[in-house]
Amino acid sequence: MSKLVPVDGILDISPYVPGREKVDGVAKLVKLSANETPLGPSPKAIEAYKSVADQLHRYPEGSALELRQAIGKHYGLNPDNIVCGAGSDELLHLLAQCYVNPGDEVIYTEHAFLVYPIVTKAAGGVCVTVAEDNLTANVDAILAAQTARTKVVFVANPNNPTGTYLAMSEMRRLRAGLRDDVLLVVDAAYAEYVRKNDYEAGIELVATHDNVVMTRTFSKVYGLPALRLGWAYCPAGVADVLNRVRGPFNVNVPAMRAGIAAIQDQSFLDKAIAHNDEWLGWLIEEINKLGLEALPSVANFLLIRFPEEAGKTAADADEFLASRGLILRAVKAYGLPRCLRMSVGLEEDNKAVVATLRAFVEGWK
């Protein structure tokens, strides 16, 4: 009897494993592992979500037109060049599906988002991982890895989980050094948090090239991860391709309504960014005072590097924190076994992590 088997390469994919959601014996948990905004969504987004509860028997408008118009107005973009999806993850899958043939190569850096190898292998592509320079994408290494089979390059800017970024000049240099038939995908999920004068999220690159796509999300600063809502700014040709293959109703009505309200609530967005500006710097300073290494970040999270000695490792710290109800993210799967990633939380949660890490370090003596 014949055995049912999936297409080649699917069983080579390591499933994405999110951070832990519970700890045995600990009732109250503070989750600082998923880079969620501690302020939650805009109250206006919550009201917009609730306002469509009596419309759940209706299909959405298939192209997410009103949402695309709201995004376009906010950023000064043509809505026709915006494609919305069920989170930016769906859009990454679609881009790989549409532009990667079996055997084609896809380049990304060694500590990049774990979805990149998943979408590459699902499309039958070959993963090409290049070294970073001090946890930062290295343009020269990416260009050196380019071959005749390269079809897509994924660059998260800022990068998760490292919190590092590439300046606009480097992104321009990268695009200039890639062949014209190579698609550059700029994953700018954390762009709203960046406060660097030399940073640009990717809008300019898309506007001036026909082979660059920028993806964005409502899951981070806008506080809507439960609704799975993302968008891509694309050249007209790429938008046309994505619209041919995406599901006809791939964004649900409550998500669209909440997204429109969220992007229009500038005062709440400013509040969320200001909170991050204040506490990201505070956390880095206070954790470094403990003798640990809190690495610089431009996003809403940071990496904490621990010693390799038994009893002092990242795994030891993870268990110590979790037993006290504080959930950070182990990033061994990203090739960073010495680190934990911490999302910026509320004031009391940030202080609780620092106090608990202090107790952890004092236990070494």
**Per-residue b or e along 330-357, where b marks 16 or more CB atoms closer than 10 Å to that residue's CB:** bbeebebebbbbbbbbeeebbebbbebb
User: What per-residue confidence (pLDDT) applies to 97?
Assistant: 97
Query: Average of pLDDT values for 223-251?
Result: 97
> Which sequence spans correspond to the domains of the chain?
11-40+267-362, 43-264
Q: What fold is seen in the domain 43-264?
A: Aspartate Aminotransferase; domain 2 (3.40.640)
User: What per-residue confidence (pLDDT) applies to 137?
Assistant: 98
What are the φ/ψ torsions at residue 154 (nearest 5 degrees)? -100, 130
What is the DSSP pairing of strand 150-156 with strand 105-109? parallel
User: What per-residue confidence (pLDDT) applies to 148?
Assistant: 98
Residue recorded with tokens 């951070």 = 19
State the Cα–Cα distance between residues 300 and 279, nearest whole angstrom. Answer: 9
Has residue 9 got a pLDDT over 90?
no
Tell me the CATH architecture of domain 11-40+267-362: Alpha-Beta Complex (3.90)
* Residue 129 CB partners (closer than 8 Å, separation 6+): 107, 108, 109, 110, 112
Q: Express each pLDDT in 61-104 by its tens digit.
A: 999 999 999 999 999 999 999 999 999 999 999 999 999 999 99
State the Cα–Cα distance between residues 335 and 347, nearest whole angstrom. Answer: 30
Query: Average of pLDDT values for 205-229?
Result: 98
Position 7 confidence tier, pLDDT thresholds 50, 70, 90: confident
Containing 109, the helix (H) or strand (E) segment is strand 105-109
**Does the reported pTM lie above 0.85?**
yes
User: What per-residue confidence (pLDDT) applies to 286?
Assistant: 98
State the Cα–Cα distance between residues 332 and 80, nearest whole angstrom. Answer: 40
Half-sphere exposure of 55 (CA within 13 A, CB side): 14
Which residues on neighbouring strands pair with residue 230, listed in sequence order?
A: 85, 217
